[in-house]
Structure 1
Amino acid sequence: MKREPLWTKNFIGVSVSSFFLFLTFYLLMVTLPIYTMEELNGTATEIGLVVTSFLIGAVLVRPFSGIWIEKIGRRKMLAIALAIFLLSTFSYIFSSSLITFLILRFLHGIGFGIATTATGTIVADLIPDSRRGEGMGYYAMSMNIAMVVGPFLGLTLIQITDFTMMFIICTGLGLLAIISVLFVTIPSSSAQMEMKFSFKKLIDKSALPIAVVGGALAIGYSGILSFVSVYAKELDLISAATYFFVVYAIFLLASRPFTGRWFDKYGENVIIYPAILSAAAGLLLLSFSTSTFTFLVSAAFVGLGFGSLTPALQTIVIRNATPTTRGMATATFFTLFDSGIGIGSYVLGMIAASTGYGHLYLILSFFVMGCLGLYYFLHGKGQTKKIKQPQKQEAHI
């Protein structure tokens, strides 16, 4: 019996486009603080605003983007979003003041928020139902690989060239994101939504429980994104920080072929409970790290944990939505996920200032462990075991 094909031209095209979007995002995430400080004479607070303004744009637009995707159409909204993303990136070249730069960051966040919601919705339409977990897992790899390549490329560029050339290269990456989907056949929604606007339509109720879990876990994840390099410097392990996300990605990619298939075969609980435990264990180990070895071992546990959680949770959201509400469901999930990262970065920064980074990661390990209970009560306890007898299947890829 042949399995439904997953690796189609359309699936690959959308995944590649997503890769270039996130590659640009992560490249700029590590280089713009330096740009703000050196080129715009920004203070530490203003550097924080550069990050926050982008995030505000993405968070504010996500609830609306789900409705626009369903009303206006997936292809049109993706085209509009990619155009905003590209023009904002190109305009960085001509920015000469902090105010102008913050406005561009806000617009860039809007383009990113709509584009990533659109690609997530489109790829959900393209993946066969029987391979939903596997497909969403492979799609998420585009983001995970970008998370490793982006910071490395960004830090390399600022050492060998100037910021103007870096922005030109980022513009080129934005163009590649557009080119990747030019020849993709994007399915249309099978039913038209009512055009009358309602604030109730900004949030998809079926996605809300899992989105709450995702938002809580994102707070823990923000501690990795925002402070792991600073913590490494504090421990005099700055060289280890360079490889933290490399190890993270290696263990994530090694697990991906299995976790997606297990999700489809046995259900989400088999993936999510161990993944939360792995993330919590990684944070706990990180809090006690005193050597490069323990620092990088913690990266392996964190990669297995957080790297498996995001695609698994997103798969549940997509599965529970109808074809006509997948855009809103995806938007609901990422609205709370982005909010968790934003709130977490701010609150955890204050905690770290009082307790130190080691204690911060210790606190986060218990917080993430507590998400086991949150997931159980909001979703996990209602799931029945979906264990199927192994069947000989011929993969069609």
Structure 2
Amino acid sequence: MFQLYVLALFFFTANSILTVIFPLQAADYGFREGEIGIMMGMYMFVCMGLRPWAGQLIAKYSVLTIMKWLLVGHALALLLYVWLGVESLYIVRALQGVVTAFFSMAMQIGIASILLDKDRGQGMSMYSLSTVLPGLYGPALALLLWTHFDHLYLLLLIAALSVLPFLFVFRSPLPATREDKGMFTFREMYTAFKTTRRHRGLMVSALVMLIGASVFGAITTFLPLYMITTGYGNAALYLFLQAIVVVVSRFLLRKIVPSDGKWHPSFMSIVLVSSVIGTTLLAFMPYIGHFIYVSAIFNGLATAMLYPTIITYMSFAIPQESKHILLGVFLASYDLGFALGGFVMGFVIQMSSFSIMFIICAIVGLAAIMFIWANRKEADVFVIDKGAVS
């Protein structure tokens, strides 16, 4: 499993660096906030659209086979950026969405296949930890290379990161077995989705993940740009502190991630309250000075807990017979939310200000908490055919 976590580490190191560099480079090139939001949101929009397709291709050709081919695509996307620079930003973001859709699905399906049920929550949490570890050094390294060194060093680093993941995919424990259930049709997807609509907890969890991800998407896209252009706070320090909180939380709190297949409204509400506090503090950044770094703690806790908790729940809640169809559909709710956060809030900033954008994000988080408690009873029961499963 350690080999898989290192593979994810190197894969997402490139993403963490480019997520900071792309908005800065686009702003220097003359892009407005709305255009930057579209460019950054394109990554997750593409990822969202391809997740269901990725799931069935992985079932047909095996996790290991798909992983090898997607790493080739990952390398090509990074090398295209090295070659063309700012002119390739839209294309590279779209290609990153393609390979991330397949990578995320392959890793999560692989981990679910390898580990016992009782260890799945910890396994998902450790995988999530490996995806956020690059946040400890990626943004700071990106800002250092962008502001203090020749950009050639940045390009050399990106080129190196296009090759490194290949060293960890061979002889990995990823399953090479196929589960060829055929390429499902939209009718089959609709039938499977119609069945799960009766699982209130699955619907609630998907919407909560979408809302939470929209806040994360807005902060990830625009916070570094805001801090660097206005001089409020240190973007590298803030992102470093937030990443430390995410990493430490996902490791120390990995055992409290519910792994019993039940929906836990109280736990999810605590996670979202942390997000609301952190986002509200960001709205008052010009007035609270160094106290702004406290928000990194709250946002880090929310980021650490939201995704692994809901993904683990979904891995149990989605019916086994349609998991290859629906897992990608429900995981795409995170991608959609993350993309909408950058896309919508970019235009909000253009029409108002960064502070108003952060206030709106806090209100969105409060709405998610209210939604959870409005559906707390219905979310516990899954009725399918003639039976009922708690």
TM-score w.r.t. length of structure 2 = 0.83
Q: In the aligned structure 2, how far is the partner of 1:236 from the partner of 1:160?
A: 17
Q: What is the distance in 2 between the residues matched to 1:66 and 1:119? A: 11
- Any residues of structure 2 matched to 1:155-234 within 5 Å, and which? 155-159=143-147, 161-187=149-175, 191-198=179-186, 200-201=188-189, 205=193, 206=196, 209-233=204-228
Count of matched residue positions in the alignment of Structure 1 and Structure 2: 370
Distance 1:242 1:107, change over 3 A: closer
Aligned to 2:239: 245
* Residue 57 (structure 2) pairs with residue 62 (structure 1): no
Decide which of 272, 275, 281 is 2:271's aligned counterpart: 275
Partner of 1:286: 282
8 Å contact from structure 1 (residues 81, 111) kept in 2: yes
The two structures, once aligned, show a CA RMSD in angstroms of 3.0
Amino acid at match of 1:287: A
Deviation at 1:132, TM superposition (A): 2.3
Which residue does the alignment assign to 2:253? 259
Matched-pair contact (CA < 8 Å) for 1:191–1:324: no
| Structure 1 pair 378–214 and aligned structure 2 pair: CA distance change class (3 A) | farther
Compute the displacement of 1:334 (Å): 3.6
SS of alignment partner, residue 169 of structure 2: coil
Higher mean C-alpha displacement, 286-295 vs 213-222: 286-295
Structure-2 change in CA distance of 1:110 and 1:146 (3 Å): same
Residue pairs, 1:113-124, within 5 angstroms: 113-124=101-112
Equivalent AA in structure 2 for residue 94 of structure 1: W
Partner of 2:359: 362
Task: Give the structure-1-normalised TM-score.
Answer: 0.81
Match of 2:128 among 104, 129, 140: 140
- Percent identity reads 20
**Which runs of structure 2 are paired with 1:10-89 in the superposition (5 Å)?**
11-36=1-26, 41=29, 43-44=31-32, 47=36, 50-89=39-78
> 2:199: which partner in 1?
none
Q: Does the CA-based 8 Å contact 1:58-1:110 persist in structure 2?
A: yes
Unaligned runs of at least 5 residues, structure 2? 197-201, 382-390
Q: Secondary structure at the match of 2:257?
A: helix
* Distance in 1 between residues matched to 2:37 and 2:267, nearest whole Å: 35
The DSSP-based 3-state class of the residue aligned with 1:238 is coil
What letter corresponds to residue 14 of structure 2 in structure 1? T
Corresponding residue of 2:384:
none
* 1:132 alignment partner, SS class: helix
CA distance in 2, matches of 1:101, 1:247: 28
Partner-residue secondary structure (3-state), 2:163: helix
In structure 2, give the amino acid aligned to 1:245: L
Question: Does the CA-based 8 Å contact 1:218-1:344 persist in structure 2?
Answer: yes
Structure 2 Cα separation of the partners of residues 303 and 34 of structure 1: 22
Query: Can you list the C-alpha shifts for 1:30-56, whole angstroms capped at 9, x where unaligned?
Result: 223444566xx5543665554344344
- Decide whether aligned partners of structure 1 residues 32 and 287 sit closer, same or farther in structure 2, where only a CA change above 3 A counts: closer
Which residue in 2 is equivalent to 1:8? none
CA distance in 1, matches of 2:89, 2:343: 21
With 149-158 and 253-262 compared, the bigger mean Cα shift is at 253-262
What amino acid is aligned across from residue 284 of structure 1 in structure 2?
A: T
Work out the CA distance in 1 between the residues paired with 2:97 and 2:174: 24
Give ranges in structure 1 of 5+ residues lacking alignment. Answer: 1-10, 385-397
- Residue of structure 2 equivalent to 1:336: 333
Name whichever of 107-116 and 77-86 sits farther off.
Answer: 107-116
Alignment match, 2:385: none
Give the superposition deviation at 1:293.
3.3
Structure 1 position 377, deviation (Å): 5.1
Task: Tell me if the contact between 1:278 and 1:302 (Cα under 8 Å) persists in the aligned partners.
Answer: yes
Contact 2:20 2:143 in 1 (8 A): yes
* Cα separation, partners in 2 of 1:85 and 1:295, compared to 1, 3 Å: same
The answer to which of 326-335 and 280-289 deviates more is 326-335
User: Cα distance, 1:159 vs. partner?
Assistant: 4.3
CA distance 1:352–1:252, shift in 2 (3 Å): same
Q: Which residue number in structure 2 is paired with residue 130 of structure 1?
A: 118
| AA aligned opposite 1:261 | K
CA displacement 1:111-138 (0-9 Å, x = unmatched): 2221222112212222321122222222
Work out whether 1:91 is the aligned partner of 2:86.
Answer: no
Q: Distance in 2 between matches of 1:82 and 1:203?
A: 33
8 Å CA contact 1:18–1:116 kept in 2: the answer is no
**Could you tell me how far 1:167 is from its partner in structure 2?**
3.2
Offset of residue 304 of structure 1:
0.9
Whole-angstrom CA distance in 1 between matches of 2:132 and 2:212: 17
How many angstroms apart in 2 are the aligned matches of 1:203 and 1:243? 48
Distance 1:48 1:381 in 2: 36
Deviation at 1:371, TM superposition (A): 0.7
Q: Does the 8 Å CA contact 1:131/1:261 hold for their aligned counterparts?
A: no
